[in-house]
Amino acid sequence: MGRWGWRLFEGDQDFDIVISISDDTLGIKTGQWEYRLSAMVHQSDMLAPPEAAVVYRTAEYAYELANVIVPYIRQKLNTSNFGERMFAASRAKESDPDDLFQESKYRTIILGALMMRAGARINTADLQHLRDLVPQINCTSRHTLFNDHGFRAPGRAQFLAALDHYRPGVARSFQAPSCFKCGNIEEDIGRKLLQCKKCIVATYCGKDCQRDQWREHRVSCIPPGQRRMLNV
């Protein structure tokens, strides 16, 4: 389906990368884990089975995710420097001269997001490498039919905010509403985010961020009843 949202893990690209990482693309096996990396970032697009969408909204699922799945994966990543070895394997593949769309570098970005989602340990060098990668990844603020690789602007802001607030042992949600301008979530600012009243999609930590991002957002600020396509 392509993309159904503007942030990380709201498009097939990101989920395909998560699955490829779990399927031994990096030469490090996670297939025998009880919970795979993809279990932390459930697929929430419009084509997900209705019964799955219902489960994702239950208190039981939220409890299992926070208290069973995420801690399990964190422990796995932290044991024997497993996560650090995954980073090393991903970084080693970034220099492919035929990688025109920086897919290998974006895979490292997604791996970093998964590590932060779990609250796993990330060493200082890898954190800095993630920061250095961000400006190298394609980023667009509009719907595009071709060369749709890398970030959308709200996803990039979301990732940078996660890096700013990273603490080992503290899981970072990438599905909680985040500010389309600065990337902060409710836990960062201590209050709920504002929602764009016109499109009911974009969220902001305050009026200043909403105003500053309007030039980007206005192209896609379409009321739900007037949208002609599912993808953004």
List helix spans (H) across 79-220. 82-92, 103-118, 124-133, 153-164, 186-189, 207-212, 214-217
Average pLDDT over the chain, rounded to an integer: 90
Q: What is the signed CA dihedral for 66, 71, 77, 83, rounded to 10 degrees?
A: 40
Instruction: Identify the pLDDT of residue 196.
Output: 96
Confidence band of 147 (pLDDT split at 50, 70, 90): low
Per-residue pLDDT band at 230 (split at 50, 70, 90): low
Report pLDDT for 63: 97
Share of the chain above pLDDT 90, in %: 69
- The type of residue at 130 is L
Which residue shows structure tokens 């970030």? 151
Q: How confident is the model at residue 98 (pLDDT cuts 50, 70, 90)?
A: confident
pLDDT of 140 reads 87
Cα distances (Å, whole numbers) of residue 39 to 24, 61, 72, 83, 186: 16, 11, 11, 16, 23
pTM above 0.85, yes or no: yes
pLDDT of residue 226: 78
Residue pLDDT, tens place only, 185-210: 999 999 999 999 999 999 999 999 99
Give yes or no for residue 44 having a pLDDT over 70.
no
Dihedral sign (CA 189, 61, 64, 18): negative
